Structure formats: C-alpha cells, structure tokens
C-alpha cells in the first residue's frame, strides 16, 4: 500500500512537471488555431501564458508540496522494511535506521527524477499545445484553490526582481527569430525552399532603399530630344524596353518618359511623330527612399515607373514595377530575353560571379554572408568589393572576407565584370 501511495505522489509530481513544460513550450499561434477549432483548454493555456508568474508559482507550489510529502512519507513508511535487514549485520546495527532512510531517499529521488521529471517533460515537448490544452484547466483550478499562497509567491517574486532591476520584457518575436524559424522550416521540409527564398527576399525588401532597387543610369535606355526626328526614330527602333527616358543633352536634364508602345501605335496609325506630346511625367523619388515607400508611391500615383535622383537632383536611375517584382521573387526575364546566370560553380568548387549580380546572391556563395540594406550604399557584388578594397579596382586585386578569398579576374573599363570566389584551406584560414 505504501509503495502505491508513493507511486501516486510521484505521478502527481510528474503531472506538474509535464504541465510546466507543456505550457511554457506552447506557441500562441498554434494555441489560437486550437481555440478556433473548439479546444477550450487552449484558451486557458493562453491565459496562463499571459500570467506566467502566477502559473509558475502554482506549479512550484504543487511540485514543492508533493516533493515534501513524498520525501517524508517514504522515509517514515518504507524505512521500517529495510531496517530489520541491516540489523542482521552486527557492524551495521548502530546505523541501520540511518542507512535505511538514506537508501529509501536515494531510490525515491531516482524514481522521482525519471518518472516524475524527465519522462513527463519529454512527453510534454512532443506535442506541447495539445497537452497544455488538456492540463491547463486542472492547473487553473489548483491555482484558484491555493490563490492566497500563489499570490504571495508572485508578489514576492515581483518585489525581488524589481529590487534587482530586472524588468519584464514583452514576449515578442524578433525579425531574426522569425527568419531563422522560416529557414529551419525549409530545412526540415515543412515549407518549400522556394517559399523560404521569397520570404527572405520580402524581409530584405523592407530594408532596401531606392538605390538598391533601381536600374542604374548606365543601363537606362534614353533619347535626346535635341536630336533630329530621324535620329530619335532610329534610337527608338533599336530599343527593347517599353519605357524610354526623354532628356535634353544628358540624363541629368530629363524631361519625362516615353512609352515605346505609344510611339509604335502612332506610327501604325500614320500620325505625325511628336515626341513631346507623348511624354508622361514620372514620379521622382530620392535615392534613399525606402523600398516600401517606393511601392506605396507607385500605387498612389498609379504608375509603373519612378525616376531616382540623388541629393543634388541629378538623375541616378529608374525603378519600374518589373524591378520591384524582381526584388521580391528573383529574376524575371522579358519575353525572348536570355539571362546569364549570376554565378557559376566550377569543378574545383570555386565560384565565378558577375560583378553586376545583386549583392544578395553572395549569401549563396559565402557561408555566413550578412547584408544590412539599411546601411550599405551599393546593390551589386562589384559595389561590395569596391567598398571593401576602397581603391580603384584592377584585375588581380584580392580581398579576404570571412574564410573566403574574392579575386577580380576581369574588368570592363573601370567596371568590375567578373570575380572568382573560393574558400581558404584550413591551414590558410588559420
């Protein structure tokens, strides 16, 4: 009978341990889903999580109370079974009672740790939300019964932590934690790798500025309104993109945007060619405008193109809706356009990278590569390398970054065209 009572006490201890781990390991998002599916215990679990001091005090009262009873009862009731055994040995007779109590306490502690602590906690971690939903009503009733003592413990805890200057921080998830959670879910197969990539791009997008999104001025197709009509026609018919910047003399004196389809429509209808009448005024934004703000401006003005200027008002580039989408989902080739891969992995595991490739691709090349778009003023791999070497680049220049070497292997004038990235050997890295 005594063994049965002690086993019951240990199982009660296990219940409190299981409850503690199940509740504190539960995710609120999952609990809210259970509430919507009709699990009333999930709502109580959410309440316990919001009153963590009260909940933990209740559990501690239960564990301490059961532990004291178990220790006292086992020592008193079971020691009598072992004492006669040790009294048979003359040398142990004076210590038979002490040895019996010590042995009983050791065995009880062992069983309590295994059955009353480790096993319940392991079970709780297997499905915390469902288990918490089951045990929460019982813990809530227990907390109500011992409310005065629990309140005293909670008040004492608050007072002491206050004296130590420890403030309760809001239990909110950081962006870093959320990104890591999504990455882990992708690695474990919970979500597709493509979904992880898109989520990562969305997070990056919120940190970017207009200068990270834009097509740079050297790649912009434009016409000079001061040229003859014949020269303008020749230029337009050689362009591939629909949105053409119209300027006078240079890009720094831009006038507006010509939609190439309007030009071809006028030609097809046999109308007089008057560029000035076809020009539309774009939205002009500063290069440091945040990416979400750029998208908001385009939506408000119902336009698919923005002109980006620097602090002096000089033309820096353009942002189209196509640029926005590429920053969110990756490269979107136009119809008939052939896209060269941004990087190529060679047989020796070194990586050949285009200088004009988006800086984000370095995360695929260099392990641990981190980008903070809120502070960097470049958007390409070439920009990153120039920022690192801080001199006019030339073929053969190398930089060490983390455990990698980045070498410039081809230049196009003053522009970095190709780079080679490889990981250092272990002895070289050290």
In this structure, is residue 33 part of a structural domain?
Answer: yes
CA dihedral 225, 226, 232, 236 (to 10 degrees): -40
Residues 75 and 101: beta-carbon distance below 8 Å: yes
Residue 45 included in any domain: yes
Q: Does residue 138 share a domain with residue 9?
A: yes
Residue 356 has pLDDT above 70, yes or no: yes
Same domain, 323 and 386: no
More confident position, 175 or 128: 128
Domain count, the chain: 4
The pair phi, psi for residue 125, each rounded to 5°, is -70, -20
- State the pLDDT at residue 390: 84
What is the per-residue pLDDT across 283-327, written as a single tens digit (0 to 9) for each?
999 999 999 999 999 999 998 899 999 999 999 999 999 899 988
Are both 292 and 318 inside the same structural domain?
A: yes
Residue-wise pLDDT tens digits, 107-145: 888 888 898 889 988 998 888 888 989 998 998 888 888
Question: Are 390 and 370 members of one domain?
Answer: yes
Query: Is 58 inside any structural domain?
Result: yes
Q: What percent of the chain has pLDDT over 90?
A: 26
In a domain, 338, yes or no: no
Domain of residue 199, residue span: 175-205
Residues listed for the chain: 430
CB proximity list for 349: less than 8 A, separation 6 or greater: 422, 423
Residue where one domain finishes, among candidates 102, 134, 163: 163
In this structure, how many other beta carbons lie within 10 angstroms of the beta carbon of residue 230? 9
- Give Cα 78 to chain centroid, integer Å: 55
Single out the residue in 284, 305, 329 at which a domain terminates. Answer: 329
One domain, residues 322 and 391 = no
Do 236 and 131 belong together in one domain? no
What does the pLDDT read at residue 79?
65
Assigned domain for 111 exists = yes
Same domain, 201 and 215: no
Does 129 lie in the same domain as 274?
Answer: no
19 shares a domain with 148 = yes
Residue 168 belongs to a domain: no
Specify which residues 169 forms β-bridges with: none
Residue 335 lies in a domain: no
pLDDT > 50? residue 427: no
Which residues, other chains included, contact 118 with Cβ-Cβ below 8 Å and sequence gap of 6+?
none
Same domain, 147 and 73: yes
Domain stop point among 108, 137, 163: 163
In a domain? residue 356: yes
- Could you tell me if 200 and 215 lie in one domain? no
Least confident range from 55-59, 288-292, 326-330: namely: 55-59
The token duo for 275 is 């560029």
Instruction: Select from 71, 81, 75 the least CA-distant residue to 101.
Output: 75
Q: What is the pLDDT of residue 275?
A: 84
- Among 18, 2, 26, residue whose Cα is nearest residue 115: 18
Q: Give me the mean pLDDT over the 389-415 stretch.
A: 91
Q: Are residues 137 and 259 in the same domain?
A: no
């Amino acid at each position: 009978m005594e063994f049965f009572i002690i086993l019951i006490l240990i199982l009660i201890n296990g219940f409190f341990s299981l409850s503690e781990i199940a509740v504190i390991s539960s995710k609120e998002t999952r609990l809210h889903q259970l509430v919507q599916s009709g699990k009333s215990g999930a709502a109580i679990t959410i309440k316990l999580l919001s009153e963590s001091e009260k909940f933990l005090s209740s559990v501690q009262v239960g564990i301490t109370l059961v532990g004291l009873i178990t220790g006292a009862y086992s020592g008193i009731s079971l020691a009598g079974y072992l004492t006669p055994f040790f009294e048979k040995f003359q040398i142990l007779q004076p210590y038979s009672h002490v040895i019996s109590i010590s042995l009983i306490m050791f065995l009880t502690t062992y069983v309590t740790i295994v059955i009353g602590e480790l096993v319940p906690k392991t079970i709780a971690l297997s499905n915390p939300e469902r288990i918490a939903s089951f045990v929460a009503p019982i813990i809530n009733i227990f907390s109500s019964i011992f409310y005065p003592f629990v309140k005293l413990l909670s008040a004492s805890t608050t007072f002491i932590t206050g004296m130590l200057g420890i403030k309760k921080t809001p239990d909110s998830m950081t962006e870093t934690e959320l990104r890591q959670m999504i990455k882990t879910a992708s690695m474990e197969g919970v979500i597709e790798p493509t979904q992880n990539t898109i989520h990562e791009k969305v997070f990056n997008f919120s940190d970017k500025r207009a200068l990270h999104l834009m097509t740079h001025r050297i790649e912009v197709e434009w016409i000079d309104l001061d040229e003859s009509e014949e020269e303008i026609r020749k230029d337009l018919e050689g362009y591939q993109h629909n949105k053409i910047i119209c300027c006078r003399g240079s890009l720094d004196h831009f006038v507006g945007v010509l939609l190439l389809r309007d030009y071809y429509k006028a030609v097809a209808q046999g109308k007089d060619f008057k560029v000035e009448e076809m020009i539309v005024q774009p939205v002009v934004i500063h290069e440091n405008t945040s990416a979400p703000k750029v998208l908001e401006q385009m939506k408000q003005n119902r336009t698919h193109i923005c002109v980006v200027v620097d602090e002096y008002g000089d033309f820096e580039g353009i942002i189209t809706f196509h640029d926005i989408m590429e920053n969110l989902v990756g490269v979107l080739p136009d119809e008939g356009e052939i896209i060269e891969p941004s990087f190529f992995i060679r047989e020796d595991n070194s990586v050949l990278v285009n200088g004009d490739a988006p800086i984000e691709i370095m995360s695929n090349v260099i392990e641990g590569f981190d980008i903070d778009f809120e502070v960097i003023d470049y958007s390409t791999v070439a920009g990153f390398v120039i920022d690192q070497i801080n001199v006019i680049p030339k073929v053969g220049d190398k930089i060490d970054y983390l455990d990698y070497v980045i070498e410039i292997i081809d230049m196009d004038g003053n522009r970095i065209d190709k780079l080679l990235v490889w990981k250092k050997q272990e002895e070289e890295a050290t």
